[in-house]
Structure 1
Amino acid sequence: MKEMTAAQLKQMIEAGERIQVIDVREDEEVAFGMIPSAIHIKMGDIPERMSELDKQKTYVIICRSGVRSEHVCRYLEAHGYDVCNIVDGMLGWDGELV
């Protein structure tokens, strides 16, 4: 499984790279702020919503600390999706929030 840190993700976003971030935290966690342009799909909703995802794209998965996103990455990888886990999650993010 591919991995990167929140700082690496921030650098890629700031460099203008087109990255699709999926935030898998719960609603109450996301209420405190999300990475701009990220889409919110709670971890528990991934199985029923993964048909919305394109297997030709790479998705960067983030949660609070990197544990739930790792589980989501393993699940999506097993179903043929190209994913990358943010190992330190939102705890490592020091960029803008919306």
Structure 2
Amino acid sequence: MKSMTTQEVQEYIKNNPEASLIDVRETEEVAAGKIPGAEHIPLGLLEFRLQDIDKSKEHIMVCRSGNRSGQATRFLEDRGYNVINMDGGMMNWEGDTE
């Protein structure tokens, strides 16, 4: 499983404004703030939203601590998606939120 630190993700999205981020936290967690531009797909709904995820793109998976995004990363990797887990999650995120 590929992964990036929160600092690496922050630098990556600064240099790649079209980067795809998928936040797999629950709705109430996302309401407290998410990375600008991240798409919200709760982990429990991921398998039902596969058609909404572009298989030709690379996606960075985000959650609170990195555990659920790690589960999402493995789930999507097993289905042929190009995904990266953000280690440390939003607990370690020091960039902008919306």
TM-score by length of 2: 0.95
Taking the aligned partners of 2:16 and 2:53, their CA distance within structure 1 comes to 22
Residues 3-38 of structure 1: CA distance to partner in whole angstroms, max 9, x if unpaired?
Answer: 001111111122244310000000110011000010
Matches within 5 A, 1:73-92: 73-92=73-92
State the 1:92 CA deviation. 1.3
Match for residue 22 of structure 1? 22
State the 1:67 CA deviation. 0.3
Q: Pairwise CA RMSD of aligned residues?
A: 0.9
State the 1:44 CA deviation. 0.3
Which amino acid letter does the alignment assign opposite residue 7 of structure 2?
Answer: A
Matches within 5 A, 1:34-49: 34-49=34-49
The question of 1:66 aligning with 2:48 is answered no
3-state SS in 2 of match to 1:93: coil
Q: Return structure 1 stretches of 4+ with deviation > 4 angstroms.
A: none
Q: Percent identity?
A: 43
Taking the aligned partners of 1:47 and 1:8, their CA distance within structure 2 comes to 27
State the 1:51 CA deviation. 1.2
Gaps in structure 1 of 5+ consecutive residues: none
Which amino acid letter does the alignment assign opposite residue 80 of structure 1?
Answer: G
3-state SS in 2 of match to 1:7: helix
Match for residue 31 of structure 2? 31
